[in-house]
Amino acid sequence: MLWETVKLALSSIRRNVLRSVLTLLGIVIGVAAVIAMVTLGSGASDKVRENLSKLGSNMLIARPGQSTFGPGGATDSRAFEERDVVALKNNLSGVRGVAPTAQKQLKVVYGALNYDTSVTGTNSDWFTVQDWTIEDGRAFNEGEIRSGASVCLIGSTIVRELFGAQDPIGERLRLGNFSCEVIGRLGSKGQSAFGSDQDSIVVEPLRTYHRRIAGNTRINTISISANEASDVTRVQRDAEDILRERRRIAPGEDDDFTIRDMTQIAATMASTTTILTSLLGAVAAVSLLVGGIGIMNIMLVSVTERTREIGIRLAIGALERQVLTQFLVEAVVLALFGGMIGIVLGLAIAAGGASLMDVPFTADPNVIALAFAVSALIGVVFGFFPARRAARLDPIEALRRE
């Protein structure tokens, strides 16, 4: 019985193909928009988490002042010193490493080529804390760190721009007024969460940087990596106590430094992306409502056009529920066709958008199933009133209608 009703619905749709297609458009656009927005939003959230994870695992970032986290977060508080780093390394437990960082934008020169990049002064813990891999060569040794030797490691962007296919190990780069020997090549990390190229970097011992590049002993940030995620809160609290003591901050006074948990930053940014995705999905879902109204409108027209047919069916013994089912199934079939086309279109748009935006394409089966179920529900909800109107027609009045 149900299959016969479905065949009648398909036959009715075929008789008015153009009208049916135009009716489907609202559902198609709505479902496609919802799937595309949610899929792209999920991909953006995954990209944020991936980029932040590249900065290091279980990591805390200490900066002078109360500035916001991110590039350009300058502060007028006094900078950290090497003795602060030593105090943290000697007194913190449960950490993988403590890495001071001082940075400056500089032009690096090799032969006739040059490239604007970021020069970083740090210690050997930096590679562990920041989760950097060394693809070729080696890291600094303790003697080079203590003496401020003219050695450096370079990122893959510097290798590509200045050396091409040539092996950079053992070559000398000019940084400002001095040159350094390349002793290592870093693995690639790609873009950071803030859009900068992490592979455009030259890393050298902190004392080398202070003496040859900066001309001072300022340390911009101190990165601390805990052994376990469960240790991060304790390590942060201990680090705050140590720095307060080192910087002679009296009890009750505000800190003149900031220690931020990268895990919390990642969670906040991912949460923000999720909220924006939900808002975009809700806006896109409005078109589903418009599509449902379109189905109701076309079904009411269909009932009006087929009044005589309905009267004949009722007159020869068709039950009201059979007529109700016929028109309800027709509305649901229309909505489901729209839902299926919308799903395919939405996934295609999301795949294209993910490629253009350079974010992962993460199609969620639950979202797809929900979109399909919602399209069927729209068919039921918006098709019920026209179907009930058809089922309640008076056969005699219907047969009189031309």
- Give the DSSP per-residue string, 52-103: HHTT-SSEEEEEESSPPSSTT----SPPB-HHHHHHHHHH--SEEEEEEEEE
pLDDT band at 28 (very low <50, low <70, confident <90, very high): confident
Above 90 in pLDDT, residue 181? yes
Above 80 in pLDDT, residue 196? no
What does the pLDDT read at residue 380? 75
Residue of higher predicted confidence among 358 and 14: 358
Sign of CA dihedral 23, 24, 27, 29: negative
Above 90 in pLDDT, residue 194? no
For residues 339-360, average pLDDT: 85
For residues 123-133, average pLDDT: 88
In one-letter notation, the amino acid at residue 323 is V
- Grouping H, G, I as helix, E, B as strand and the rest as coil, residue 362 is coil
Taking only the tens place, the pLDDT of each residue in 310-331 is 666 666 666 667 767 776 777 7
What does the pLDDT read at residue 72? 46
User: Cβ contacts of residue 292 below 8 Å, gap of 6+?
Assistant: 26, 27, 335, 378, 381, 382
Q: How many residues does the chain have?
A: 402
For residues 331-359, average pLDDT: 84
Task: Tell me the Ramachandran region of residue 195: left when phi exceeds 0, alpha when psi lies from -120 to 50, beta otherwise.
Answer: left
For residues 154-165, average pLDDT: 91
Which neighbouring-strand residues pair with 109? 114, 174
Taking only the tens place, the pLDDT of each residue in 54-92 is 555 678 889 888 654 444 444 457 889 889 999 999 999
What does the pLDDT read at residue 251? 86
Taking only the tens place, the pLDDT of each residue in 286-313 is 777 777 777 777 767 766 666 666 666 6
Residue of higher predicted confidence among 348 and 282: 348
Residue bearing tokens 């900031």:
258
For the chain, the average pLDDT equals: 79
Q: Which two tokens stand for residue 359?
A: 């974010």
